[in-house]
A and B are shown apart, each in its own frame.
Chain A
């Protein structure tokens, strides 16, 4: 098994059988897009992790509130717990999607086709370049 340059490749599914230049270009576009989406999801995960960490670590203000208003605090606790559950389930969902895409990309790379490999790498670059500043801004 070694890298080869060719416009013929069989990717993932038996129906995804590329044997022409236009087909290869189309395939490259699709894989570029998938790799870009994968990077965006990765950055999104980091962002969500940060958010979850903020939810878990209590601010010093809540410690004071505990002594002052107990019922108010419990209501607040339950709402924050609900928020945490929602956040955690969306994180899990994101993780599933991410694992699936990463395995698909890995299997694509395993075709040893240079063009496919290049589009994965370039897609990863584009995705990181765009997603990191954009997602961290908001």
Chain B
């Protein structure tokens, strides 16, 4: 019993398909304790575990956010599409920013003519990766934002709602289409600078 991966949500679905799954299934006791002490047994009931298409009673991330109409579903799809695009943009934008800051550092350290060559080399290498520098702090903030968005997208996908999943996938595709073109240009620029 030490190896049952069971979130409260997973437990429910396992219970539903109890008859079909005869693999290493725990007995019903962990499921009952999960619902009893978790205090959220009621909301777990809505958890879908297979893909479906529908726009009724779709709960999205936050307590008040329940989709119940076609318009609501369309709005949610648009927002999630944009969020997925933003995620792709953030990924590529961070890469650009990193490259740019490294190029800047290289230029900054260039005009410093050290009395001996070794000194110059060392400043060259360390300045770019200082922990308490503005570019790195910005990078960290963007990284946190990226992690939050990626988990949100994951949780949206985990609603198993077909429309929302398609919105996530299309958003990722569109984001890559829009932003990766810029990435290629930036790569080109840095290569010219070399």
How many cross-chain pairs have Cβ atoms below 8 Å apart between A and B? 112
**Count the A residues whose beta carbon is within 8 Å of the partner chain — how many?**
35
Chain A interface residues toward B at CB < 8 A? 1-4, 6, 8-15, 17, 19, 106-107, 109-112, 117, 120-122, 124-125, 128-130, 132-134, 136-137
Q: In whole angstroms, what is the CA distance A120 to B30 when docked?
A: 25
B154 touches A132 (CB 8 A): no
Q: Mark B6-49, 1 if CB is under 8 A from A, else 0.
A: 11111100000000000000100010011001111001101100
Q: In whole angstroms, what is the CA distance A6 to B41 when docked?
A: 13
Q: Is B158 an interface residue (CB 8 A)?
A: yes
- Chain A residues within an 8 Å CB radius of B137: 129
A-B contacts besides A3-B61, A13-B6, A121-B147, 18 pairs, CB < 8 Å: A1-B155, A2-B59, A2-B65, A8-B37, A10-B6, A10-B7, A10-B38, A13-B5, A14-B34, A107-B5, A107-B10, A120-B147, A121-B144, A125-B147, A128-B144, A129-B136, A132-B139, A137-B125
Q: Is B143 an interface residue (CB 8 A)?
A: yes
B4 touches A124 (CB 8 A): no
The 6 lowest CB-CB distance pairs between A and B, nearest first, are A14-B30, A125-B144, A133-B129, A124-B147, A133-B131, A129-B140
B47 touches A1 (CB 8 A): yes
A110 touches B158 (CB 8 A): yes
A19 touches B131 (CB 8 A): no
B136 touches A132 (CB 8 A): yes
A107 touches B62 (CB 8 A): no
A1 touches B140 (CB 8 A): no
A128 touches B39 (CB 8 A): no
